[in-house]
Amino acid sequence: MYNFLLGVVIVLSVLIVIGIMMQPSKQNSAASAFTGGADNLFGRQKARGFEAFMQKATAYLGAAWLILLLLLAYLSSVN
């Protein structure tokens, strides 16, 4: 069981990295590199289409990854 969950965590880790790399960039100018994109922090733009899907998918993958890591920590402390 432990080895299976460890394999799933490794696969999820790779999928999270791919998902983060596939997200569209939100920085449009060189000035936003210095401000850190703070001008868009409180903007009311809502993600749509592919961007919204990637945000949700990354969030769900991250949550599943965290839960599996906590489960692995518990299983390793029981033995």
Question: Model confidence over 64-76: pLDDT tens digits?
Answer: 999 999 999 999 9
Q: Is the pLDDT of residue 20 over 80?
A: yes
Chain centroid to CA 52: how far? 13
pLDDT band at 13 (very low <50, low <70, confident <90, very high): very high
Spell out the domain ranges in the chain. Answer: 1-22+47-79
pLDDT digits 0-9 by tens, 22-68 = 887 766 655 555 666 555 555 556 767 888 888 899 999 999 999 99
- Give me the pLDDT at residue 51, please: 86
Q: Kindly report whether the global pTM for this prediction surpasses the value 0.75.
A: no
For residue 71, which of 15, 8, 5, 14 has the smallest C-alpha distance? 5
